[in-house]
Amino acid sequence: MTLIRWLDSFDIGIPAIDHEHRELVDLINTCHDRLVEDPSGNDVGDFLGRIFDRITAHFTHEEIEMLQLEFPEYWPHKADHERLLDELRDIMNTWSSSNDFDDASLASRLELWFMIHFRTFDARLHRFVAQQA
């Protein structure tokens, strides 16, 4: 079952960033699928680590692109990246301290995490990139 269905509206118009977004969604969906297949969640810690590493690299890349574009909403967007990383750290800490993080809770937190950012901050970046073209 797909947790996050990719929508073309998630594209911001920078091919490398769009590709990374798709990869992150695929990784989250794979993590969710593994939890459904193995409710013990033996792989969850590894997947969360991979998601954290990939999202950190992605945010750095996206922030460099925003600076090069002189995106006027750089600082609020960057602040949301920091908030998202803090939330992912909280998810990881909860997992590592209890190893008892249920599928529904993890799925809803990860889905909300990405969907809200895509629909707000990344949507504004998309509009800005489109106006620059």
Handedness of CA 9, 121, 62, 5 (dihedral sign): negative
**pLDDT the model gives residue 13:** 92
**pLDDT the model gives residue 40:** 66
**pLDDT the model gives residue 101:** 59
Domains, the chain, ordered by start: 12-132 (1.20.120.50)
Is 80 exceeded by the pLDDT of residue 38?
A: no
**pLDDT band (50, 70, 90) for residue 39:** low
* pLDDT digit string, tens, across residues 73-122: 999 999 999 999 998 898 888 877 876 656 677 777 777 877 888 889 99
The label of the residue with tokens 């990139």 reads 129
